[in-house]
Amino acid sequence: MDLKYYNEEPYDAKVSRTVLKTSQKRRLFDLVQQNVERGIKKFFDNCKNQVPGKKGYPRFKKHSRSVEYKQSGWKLSPDKKSIKFTDKKGIGKVKLKGKWDLWRFDQKLIKRVRIVQRADGYYVQFCVKVDNHEQLEATGFTVGLDVGLKEFYTDSYGHTEPNPRFYRKGEKRLKFYQRRVSRKKKGSANRKKAINRLGKTHLKISRQRKEHAKRLVRSYRKIVEPYYKRFNPFMQSRTPIKAPLSKVSSPARCVIRSNDLVAYEDLRVKNLVKNHCLAKSINDAGWYQFREWLEYFGKKFGRITVAVNPAYTSQNCSSCGEVVRKSLSTRTHTCKCGCQLDRDHNAAKNILTRALGTVGHTGTLINAWGEDTSTLLGSGLGEQVTSLNQESPGF
């Protein structure tokens, strides 16, 4: 039996599909009981200690797809290419397949091991306690981002990132596999195979959306160099920046690396998707996932991220502050003062101005996994995001 593995920032490794034996699958469910007991205990402890907010009431999961171990019950081989589960549940020794080498980390630093079931096989996640902070030099730039449906985002400099629309592009294929599922007899082996093919298609779309929000979309030099040349005359006479392959990253990573402060809208996506005409496009865009990675990389590289109240950012003029009413179909902002900009460009400028005009900002998220991500920066800004519970990126 083989397991594919990855840590918090995996490469796009092409690994073959693996299957657990039926007897081993059954024994995995015995391990789920430990998670249930831990969840119930945590709920009662939160009630007893009167923890503010939600107490974490345990929710029943009919189909559990993960099993988690602490620092016991497993053992890595000396070459870190296989793992043996020693809890006498029948899993035994399994081979690890992937491009990440665990020899970089001491086994004492691995705090959690989790077996996760995906549509294309089983994976093992390693939660490693390491300091991943990097100190970058100050760039002297600030940027405001306005996310949208026409363009993925527009910044305060006028640069736009195209919206990939992964779900829209794969919708035809999804319909094809959904029809094949509907034609199969319920409970048959062919229906299970059809469901698995449909799940793989959904999984591919979700991975595309996550990787687009995180990295491998635009190289670092393509984003940073135009900004430096535009605002720094000294850079105009220099040779182009040659970034190494390690700098090739996503919009989130590049925006954070090339700016000292990043401002964005504190959108409530849960409320926005109530508009049934735009719900599919909003979910396909993945705005909140992009925000999660912005805040994560902001903490990692020591940059400031500010979430501002999105009210009237599109209606107010970025030049004079006059309110210019416009419908959603009006894509150009035209004011009496002579300011004429793209609607999203005008909104991005207002977002940046609102963030810079705020006093008392204390930084970005407290920890790298999303606790208290956006601080409350005054009456004009939204509330904190209490918990994002960022895990290792799924496949």
Residue 87's SS3 state is coil
Whole-number pLDDT of residue 195: 95
CB 314 within 8 A of CB 346: yes
Burial class from Cβ neighbours inside 10 Å (0-12, 13-18, 19+) for residue 85 reads buried
Q: E strands within 65-204?
A: 66-69, 74-76, 82-85, 92-97, 110-118, 121-128, 142-147, 151-155, 160-162
Which H/E stretch holds residue 2? strand 2-6
d(CA 339, CA 59) in angstroms, rounded, equals: 53
Whole-number pLDDT of residue 376: 38
Q: Is the pTM of this model over 0.75?
A: no
Mean pLDDT of successive 10-residue stretches along the chain, which has 395 residues: 44 38 54 74 89 82 78 87 84 82 83 89 88 85 90 88 91 95 95 95 93 58 45 40 38 78 90 91 90 88 89 89 87 88 91 79 39 40 40 41
Which H/E stretch holds residue 307? strand 304-308
Residues 325-353 pLDDT 10s: 988 888 888 888 888 899 999 999 999 99
Nearest to 91 by CA among 195, 196, 18, 183: 18
Whole-number pLDDT of residue 28: 56
Whole-number pLDDT of residue 56: 85
Which tokens go with 66? 């993960």
Nearest to 91 by CA among 16, 18, 22, 35: 22
Residues 165-191 pLDDT 10s: 999 999 999 999 999 999 999 999 999
Burial class from Cβ neighbours inside 10 Å (0-12, 13-18, 19+) for residue 175 reads exposed
Beta bridge partners of 122: 117
Whole-number pLDDT of residue 25: 55
Whole-number pLDDT of residue 222: 46
Catalytically active residues are 146, 265, 344
Whole-number pLDDT of residue 190: 96
Residue type, position 310, single letter? P
Nearest to 224 by CA among 243, 238, 208, 211: 243
Whole-number pLDDT of residue 194: 95
Whole-number pLDDT of residue 213: 86
Whole-number pLDDT of residue 175: 96
Whole-number pLDDT of residue 158: 87
Which tokens go with 28? 């995995």
Whole-number pLDDT of residue 71: 85
